[in-house]
Structure 1
Amino acid sequence: MGFKTFETERLRLRPTNVNDAPFILELLNTPKFIKYIADRNVRTIADAKTYIEERMLPQLKRLGYANYTVIRKSDDTKLGTCGLYSREEMEGIDIGFSFLPQHEKQGYAFEAARCILDAAFNEFNIDEISAITTEENLSSQRLIKKLGLNYKDIVHLANDTEDLWRYQLKRNS
């Protein structure tokens, strides 16, 4: 089954696959990923392949969307990830993104997230999208608000006591 790839002016977004393991290993071990998202205990390329196979691909196969590797079209550099996530502990679908530090503050995250948000509403017929972030992650909050999501409430993920700020946007709002 072929899964959809998306393009913007500067970017190509394709479903993450096991060939992305070296990149995913690097991304998941950046200080900001560990601080603001979680330490996924992915320390080797083999760990990264397992993470992709067990955490990303099942949702892609089940729903047709999941985590997308964001690639700059001009030179095929992998910049980060952006995706739509179905979490057991949360109702609905949320959008998330993470970029390597050297590719931040260049508009790539907004461009990728805008593309994925449009796909959520227009390709996958999702009626409402959430985004979650920590109170301290101001850059993520700015991007979420720029995408048009509005603060809704505070939520907690399973086995985690940290307050996460949830933002939401309904289709056609």
Structure 2
Amino acid sequence: MSTSTSPIHMSPDFTIPTPRLHISYFIPTNPAHPAFLAHLWNTPEYLATNGKTSITDSDSARKFLENRIIPLYTRRIGMMLVHLKPHPDASLDESTPIGTVSLMQGEPPNGYGAPDIGFCILPEHQKQGYATEAAKGFIEHAQRESGVPGVFGFCSPHNVPSRKTLEKIGLEFRGVRKLRVFGNEESLVFTLPGMEEDLGVYGVDP
């Protein structure tokens, strides 16, 4: 199986393997991929935490992937599809989509100086450590292959599960900030160990 890191070729066989998971590109022309995203982002659990989005069906999901996610792959970040392996040696084709993991970073001034990690797992597969495993795998890959120097973790002060996952990933709590990039919403801020003490270096306001 190919493990090429070139995002330009968008190989459908590309995978970042972890012990229980495969992490792969979203392929908008694969009907199963936008259909899965539309399903994931319209579960009651997702809507309760994140609210309603413009992704209501496969067509809107496909356009979102084409316009917002695929361009990020040229920077070797973006949102990836998380698959559950049926057995340790399973191929990507044998695996079942269960969620997403992302490293997102807007272009200045609409972004910070490091990407932030995100994750979303189908309700029936939660509380089994898959979000932690996927996030660790994606961060390690980004550091190893793309030299990503730092990663943020943001979550609502009321989102206890996300906070616990960010802590399990190994991110350090750096306080509560109002994030201008996200409409000045109050957020818990986490960083990878070793990032600058002054978060203003990355454009995060005090």
Structure 1: gaps spanning 5 or more residues: none
Q: Of 129, 144, 147, which aligns to 2:166? A: 144
After superposition, what is the alpha-carbon deviation per residue over 1:56-102, rounded to whole angstroms, capped at 9, x for unaligned?
A: 111112x0221110011215211100021113333311111001101
Matches within 5 A, 1:1-173: 1-3=8-10, 4-18=14-28, 19=30, 20-61=33-74, 63-74=75-86, 75-87=94-106, 88-153=110-175, 154-158=177-181, 160-170=183-193
The TM-score with structure 1 as length reference comes to 0.89
Letter in 1 for 2:67: E
Relative distance call for 1:166 and 1:31 in structure 2 (3 A) is farther
Cα separation, 1, equivalents of 2:48 and 2:81:
21
Cα deviation, residue 143, structure 1: 0.7
Higher strand share: 1
SS in structure 2 of the partner of residue 69 of structure 1: strand
Cα deviation, residue 5, structure 1: 2.1
Structure 2: gaps spanning 5 or more residues: 1-7, 87-93, 196-206
Cα deviation, residue 165, structure 1: 1.4
SS in structure 2 of the partner of residue 39 of structure 1: coil
Cα deviation, residue 136, structure 1: 1.0
Question: Whose radius of gyration is greater, 1 or 2?
Answer: 2
Cα deviation, residue 43, structure 1: 1.0
Cα separation, 1, equivalents of 2:135 and 2:187:
19
Letter in 2 for 1:2: H
Using the aligned pairs only, state the percent identity: 26
Cα deviation, residue 159, structure 1: 6.2
Count residues with an aligned counterpart: 172
The TM-score with structure 2 as length reference comes to 0.76
Letter in 2 for 1:167: F
After superposition, what is the alpha-carbon deviation per residue over 1:110-144, rounded to whole angstroms, capped at 9, x for unaligned?
A: 11111012112212111111011111110110010
Cα separation, 2, equivalents of 1:137 and 1:78:
24
Letter in 2 for 1:84: L
Cα separation, 2, equivalents of 1:170 and 1:47:
37
Letter in 2 for 1:34: L
